Structure 1
Amino acid sequence: MAEDFRRVADRVAAEIAAGRLRPGDRLPTQRAFARSHRIANSTAIRVYGELVRRGLAVGEVGRGTFVRAAPPSPGHALAEERTPEPETAMQAGTSGSAPTTSGAPAINLELNYPVAEGQSELMAASLAGLLRPDVLEAATRPAAADGTPAAREAAASLLARGGWRPHAGQLLFAGNGRQAIAAAIASFVRPGGRLGVEALTYPLVKAVAERLGVTLVAIEADDGGLSPDALYAAHRRAPLSAVYVQPTLHNPTSVTMSEERRERLAAACEELDIGAVEDTTWAFLAPEAPAPLAARVPARTVLVDSLSKRLAPGLTTGFLAAPVSRTSQLAEALRSGAWTAARFNLEAATRWITDGTVATVEAAKRADAEDRHRLVRRRLAGFRVRTEPRAYYCWWELPAPWRTDTFVAAAAARGIAVSPGRAFAVPPYAAPDAVRIGLATPPVEVLSYALRTLAEVAEQGPPGRP
């Protein structure tokens, strides 16, 4: 019966939860498992499938099935609260393991939320004026998708870069950057349509596309970013409606497109008659980068950005700078998706931008990112790591014979969570054996320990290696 295989899977899950089966351990072959549990081979197959479905195991072709790292929990968002003090961490490193809480990784290098020293005090000072009853009354009223005149002017100044500045009539607002991306994609691509994306792309775009019924088409990228030639080739195979791209500090590889590459990509969008969703969420870390696509093909580009990385993820605002011809369509997408920004958030964002709070915090985070990048160069020297001095993440191509899920599991066994390459790959089965390491969340001392530990894990090789 169906319940039988689930009960067997429950027992294996209990073994994993109790630590008797650890991340990276190889499970018996399905035939051996069936014999030891006195079940049919077909039932064993269903048990292993159930373990994979629950995220407790991963199968690797030709190598077997392994216990994998536990999926991230909401508690990881406050990794500092669960991270050992540096002295404790160093002691743990010498004993071969790191402390964990309830079996979950204690150091989270998946989530990537930079926090600058003193930013909360700056933000609080900006909000003091909102506490006046008359101001608060206005700030708690509903807001339209195009916000307020003050918010539009503030957003225009925030998004200006490389000699380009959107005008107020182009600006719309969402609750956060993810909602801005969803609205932009929905405005360009109908259900069943095709959206070009870098072969390694922001994981949320994959989820948004699935929800909207949009087919993602992987576009080859190289050391210069998304390839315009590959975009032409993909469009010839079957027409694309738009392309989603991160020209500055691409996540996860941190590549920044050159001026020449951006010009070629803009020309391709014009010639192919397709739109562009340009994500500049991390571009504040590289203010010297070339002007955005929105400056080159303004009639075809919707630029999206947010405050989540600049300031904090909990109280944020998403921005869309769109062609005036598309603002009505985008506003409707925002309203129908319930993605419009709250008026209070708009008022807070406007104050933070206009009084210099955002600029001050951005500068502090740029310096912090460079400090953390120096740790990457020192701790991961000798490995194939792609990153850039301003980036808050790096892309690590694992040395053979490591496989991604086995490495993720081995890192989790040492108390460290990293992002597997398949989370970014389109399609997931085409993922290289690589991981993304988020550098922003833990304290610098703990990050240093984590990077050193990951280097040790990589050098030791996978479990069971002859």
Structure 2
Amino acid sequence: MRQPSPWSPRIAGGTAPLFERLVTALADDIVQGRVAPGDRLPPHRELAWALEIGLGTVTRAYAALERRGLVKSVHGRGMFVALPAAPEPAVVDLCVNAPPRLLDTPLLQATLSRLASRIDAVDFSHYAPAAGSPQQRAMMARWLAEDRLQVAPDQVLLCNGGQHALSVAVATACRGGAPVFTEALTYPGMITIARHAGFDLHGVALDDQGMRPDALDRALHDHRRSTGGGGHTGGRPVVYVTPVLHNPTARSMDRARRAAIVAVCRSHDALIIEDDVYSVFAEPDMPPLADLAPERCFYVTGLSKCLSPGLRIGALVAPRSLADAALSALAAGSTMVGPLNCLMMEDWFADGTARMLARAIRGESRTRSALAHRLLPGRISPTVAPGFHVWLPMAPAAAEALALAAAARGIRVTPPSAPVVDMRIAGKGGIRLCLGGPSIEALTGALATLAGLIGSDHGDSRAADPVY
């Protein structure tokens, strides 16, 4: 006689489709240990009856959980919580900030099969417009409008990923030695772009919502005085900012903070580069800066963080007055986005795959963020929206010691120096942990190891102090 399942069936709240909410509920209970590896799950029909839902909904949910490696079907016996996987590679990488692999092989193969019947050799026999075809730009504009930003299709420039879009924005805005202001701790990729382009970043103090408006105002005033007081030399000042899940500290701005940053930039006639690659995690009613200040804001986003890293398509929306300059900068650095990437984007936008993947990634982010907070209680800087990176604030020396100790145990973390623009202003350092890459099992082990290291001589009680 089969043993009954120890799992108490439930469905998570929210507005996502029913099967996704069932996936979220069961995934959370597995990660939280409410059901253990090897435990039997309710049979499909029994679960459908208990929750008063369709059998197809249960089938889809179990299939999604099996693709994620959380459950395993045993022929003739039923569905079980998956046992710990075979040992993974010796190194667990918490350094690369990418979403987990939720795109399964059958879905990808089905997409490519559909594309095979649509591909025209003409598409591979000439160069497409640098910014994408009118149809592709219109589809991206509709995608942006669903959640974030209402823009005309001719304002959207398609790029080879979000990093490329950021590079084009920098090349357009930062001309003639224009001063560039950003958070004292910022995205390491922006630091790399600045070094490559040969300009310095000016650090601005942060608080629990990211860049402080008063500190930005003071920094812009100080720079103007240092260059003669008659205005900014070398071009308009540029402010680079990440309002949603700031990298590395994972802080997000509320509506008042966004309005205050825009007001400071207007008072100094500063251009804004808004990095919104984590827009999939933004609150639906929270306007991007580009919506508040379209006349001066470059809006940067992409599909890699919200759908799949292999879909290398970014989007840049430039102010109308600088649209031609942005298009010239784009054409100088790239002739076009790859045709296969664009066809895949069109297919996923049209059949709902993109929306489904984005919802799944949001659900997975909640699961992994909850796991990190459970295993590192009181150590992680609090966030409004869960994403795929968290911040462990601590003194710079403690952060370096923890990074070295983690590496000795096969755990790679972002080097503590990587996001530093100006530690004197930041006041405190820390370590960014990227949660999306490893499996749940590997992530659990790595976080538990880090918790032990922080509690030992490699960390100290000051690690749990507020960030700023």
TM-score using structure 1 length: 0.73
Q: 1:86-97 residue pairs with structure 2 within 5 A?
A: 86=84
SS in 2 for 1:200: coil
Aligned position for 2:261: 265
Aligned position for 2:331: 335
**C-alpha displacement of 1:122:** 3.2
Q: Of 406, 413, 416, which residue of structure 1 is paired with 2:411?
A: 416
SS in 2 for 1:403: helix
One-letter amino acid of the counterpart of residue 243, structure 1: V
Q: Of 210, 228, 236, which residue of structure 1 is paired with 2:213?
A: 228
Q: Of 121, 141, 146, which residue of structure 1 is paired with 2:106?
A: 121
**C-alpha displacement of 1:361:** 0.3
One-letter amino acid of the counterpart of residue 131, structure 1: A
- Cα separation, partners in 2 of 1:288 and 1:356, compared to 1, 3 Å: same
Tell me if the contact between 1:146 and 1:172 (Cα under 8 Å) persists in the aligned partners: yes
- Cα separation, partners in 2 of 1:421 and 1:388, compared to 1, 3 Å: farther
CA RMSD of aligned residues (A): 2.5
**C-alpha displacement of 1:401:** 9.7
Q: 1:187-266 residue pairs with structure 2 within 5 A?
A: 187-238=172-223, 239=232, 241-266=237-262
- Cα separation, partners in 2 of 1:161 and 1:215, compared to 1, 3 Å: farther
**C-alpha displacement of 1:289:** 5.1
Tell me if the contact between 1:172 and 1:327 (Cα under 8 Å) persists in the aligned partners: no
**C-alpha displacement of 1:271:** 1.7
- Cα separation, partners in 2 of 1:171 and 1:163, compared to 1, 3 Å: closer
Residue 357 (str. 1) matches residue 353 (str. 2):
yes
Residue 156 (str. 1) matches residue 119 (str. 2):
no
SS in 1 for 2:316: strand
Query: Distance in 2 between the 1:133 and 1:368 partners?
Result: 33
- Cα separation, partners in 2 of 1:339 and 1:204, compared to 1, 3 Å: farther
Query: Distance in 1 between the 2:125 and 2:97 partners?
Result: 30
Aligned position for 2:299: 303
One-letter amino acid of the counterpart of residue 406, structure 2: A
Tell me if the contact between 1:394 and 1:436 (Cα under 8 Å) persists in the aligned partners: yes
SS in 1 for 2:202: strand
Q: Of 416, 421, 425, which residue of structure 2 is paired with 1:426?
A: 421
Aligned position for 2:402: 407
Per-residue deviation, residues 253-304 of structure 1 (Å, max 9, x unmatched): 1211111111111122222111111111111123425010111111111111
Query: Distance in 1 between the 2:405 and 2:265 partners?
Result: 43
Q: 1:35-74 residue pairs with structure 2 within 5 A?
A: none
**C-alpha displacement of 1:445:** 1.7
One-letter amino acid of the counterpart of residue 381, structure 1: P
One-letter amino acid of the counterpart of residue 254, structure 1: A
Tell me if the contact between 1:404 and 1:421 (Cα under 8 Å) persists in the aligned partners: yes
One-letter amino acid of the counterpart of residue 420, structure 1: P
Tell me if the contact between 1:402 and 1:461 (Cα under 8 Å) persists in the aligned partners: no
One-letter amino acid of the counterpart of residue 413, structure 1: A
Query: Distance in 2 between the 1:175 and 1:366 partners?
Result: 23
Q: Of 430, 433, 443, which residue of structure 2 is paired with 1:437?
A: 433
Query: Distance in 2 between the 1:87 and 1:120 partners?
Result: 19
Query: Distance in 2 between the 1:251 and 1:401 partners?
Result: 17
Tell me if the contact between 1:181 and 1:304 (Cα under 8 Å) persists in the aligned partners: yes
**C-alpha displacement of 1:145:** 2.4
Query: Distance in 2 between the 1:401 and 1:174 partners?
Result: 36
Q: 1:389-408 residue pairs with structure 2 within 5 A?
A: 389-398=385-394, 403-408=398-403
Residue range with higher mean Cα deviation, 428-437 or 173-182:
428-437
**C-alpha displacement of 1:114:** 1.4
SS in 1 for 2:364: helix
Query: Distance in 2 between the 1:88 and 1:345 partners?
Result: 33
Q: 1:284-299 residue pairs with structure 2 within 5 A?
A: 284-288=280-284, 290-299=286-295
**C-alpha displacement of 1:185:** 0.9
Aligned position for 1:371: 367
Tell me if the contact between 2:132 and 2:157 (Cα under 8 Å) persists in the aligned partners: yes
Query: Distance in 2 between the 1:438 and 1:343 partners?
Result: 31
SS in 1 for 2:166: helix
One-letter amino acid of the counterpart of residue 386, structure 2: R
Tell me if the contact between 1:115 and 1:311 (Cα under 8 Å) persists in the aligned partners: no
Residue range with higher mean Cα deviation, 323-332 or 338-347:
338-347
Query: Distance in 1 between the 2:124 and 2:281 partners?
Result: 30
Residue 138 (str. 1) matches residue 123 (str. 2):
yes
Aligned residues: 366
Aligned position for 2:38: none
**C-alpha displacement of 1:462:** 2.7
- Cα separation, partners in 2 of 1:401 and 1:213, compared to 1, 3 Å: closer
SS in 2 for 1:122: helix
Tell me if the contact between 1:111 and 1:438 (Cα under 8 Å) persists in the aligned partners: yes
**C-alpha displacement of 1:426:** 0.3
TM-score using structure 2 length: 0.73
**C-alpha displacement of 1:389:** 4.7
**C-alpha displacement of 1:184:** 0.2
Aligned position for 1:174: 159
Deviant stretches of 4+, over 4 Å = 428-431
Q: 1:378-389 residue pairs with structure 2 within 5 A?
A: 378-389=374-385
Structure 1: stretches of 5+ with no match in the other structure? 1-79, 90-98
Per-residue deviation, residues 162-219 of structure 1 (Å, max 9, x unmatched): 6741111211011111111011011111153211111111101011111112221111
SS in 1 for 2:196: helix
Structure 2: stretches of 5+ with no match in the other structure? 1-68, 70-82, 224-231, 460-468
Query: Distance in 2 between the 1:140 and 1:319 partners?
Result: 24
One-letter amino acid of the counterpart of residue 175, structure 1: N
